[in-house]
Amino acid sequence: MVQPSIWNIREITVAATKAELQELCPIRDVLDRIGDRWSVLVLKELEGGTRRFSVLRRAIPDISQRMLAQTVRHLEADGLVSRTVYPTIPPRVDYALTELGRSFLVPLEGLVAWAEAHHATIKQARAQAATAMPGAPVTARPITVAAG
């Protein structure tokens, strides 16, 4: 069987399960992990070097302890983060980027730069959408009528 292109919607929509979709579309599989709310923030924090769990928690103050634990477990399972446990009392656990995790920082820097450069424009567009449609969610798209 020929591997379908990620852009071939017809072949991809035939798949019945999320696992099958992820198998057919590597981008979907990777983005499902790094596209969550916390993974990129954890990876960016680890860019500065090895961090203890408590340091990560303080660096990302709005993440719960449970969600941080889940996020680093997922990143470790994907090979982006390594976890080292030291036999001390209390146990000390350090997290660091793996080579694979460091390689992800290269494309991530482009995304970060783009977000910083366009954040004000995006916020302005959201505000305009919110005022154009009072009561509508900010993610709603205004209707544009084509001329002609």
**pLDDT score of 15:** 46
pLDDT tens digit sequence for 18-30:
667 667 777 877 8
Cα dihedral 66, 67, 72, 75, rounded to 10, equals 140
Q: How many CB atoms lie within 10 A of CB 134?
A: 6
Q: What is the mean pLDDT of residues 113-127?
A: 94
At residue 148 the predicted structure's pLDDT band, cuts being 50, 70 and 90, is very low
pLDDT tens digit sequence for 33-85:
888 899 999 999 999 999 999 999 999 999 999 999 999 999 999 999 999 99
Say if pTM beats, i.e. exceeds, 0.85.
no
Cα dihedral 70, 71, 75, 76, rounded to 10, equals -40
pLDDT tens digit sequence for 72-82:
999 999 999 99
> Which regions of 42-122 does DSSP assign to beta strands (E)?
51-52, 81-86, 92-97
Both tokens of 134, joined, read 């009072």
